[in-house]
Amino acid sequence: MSGDPVLYSERGSSWWPVLWGPAFAALGLVAEQLTLGPEHVAMWILVGLALAVAATIWVYGRRRLLAVSLTRSELVLGRERLATDRIVAVSEVGAPVGARVLGGSWTTPKGTGEVPLRLDDDTVVLAWAKDSEKLSVELAKLVEKKSQL
């Protein structure tokens, strides 16, 4: 990606979920300390570490596959990059059945809205974002500026 300013961005996920597993393990350890019976400190540490590792893999995947970034030169959706020069229309573009979803998935990710885009070869593809209206507005501004040049 060039040094273009970022016009729209979504991370895909924050890193907070990595702390949930160790927090639950700490609560389990405290509950065990308050009750009578054997203490399993090493087990709770291993549970906390295992949950943190699993959450790290999950967050890394979400940040890689669900990230959205728009600059003047490129739209990045998950694993796919699209040059903004190829986008010719954003508004009043219908989404035909079977339109290709950008980002490498069969459907738009859960919790995201669709943004149909008409490309220079007259195909319609589906971009997506959690705030699809804002992405659509930013893309429309970009297309309008490029058409005025």
> Both ends of the chain: CA-CA distance in Å?
22
The residue segments making up the domain with residue 60 are 7-65
Q: Which residue has the higher pLDDT, 26 or 94?
A: 26
Q: Does one domain contain both 12 and 55? A: yes
| Residue 117, helix vs strand vs coil | strand
| Residue 89, helix vs strand vs coil | strand
Q: Does residue 144 sit within a domain?
A: yes
Per-residue pLDDT of 91-121, as tens digits, reads 888 888 889 999 988 899 999 999 999 999 9
Confidence of residue 2 (pLDDT cuts 50, 70, 90): low
Q: Does residue 31 sit within a domain?
A: yes
For residues 101 and 35, what is the distance between their CA atoms, to the nearest angstrom?
A: 53
Per-residue pLDDT of 44-80, as tens digits, reads 999 999 999 999 999 999 999 999 999 999 999 999 9
Q: Does residue 1 sit within a domain?
A: no
Q: Does one domain contain both 117 and 142? A: yes
pTM of structure: 0.80
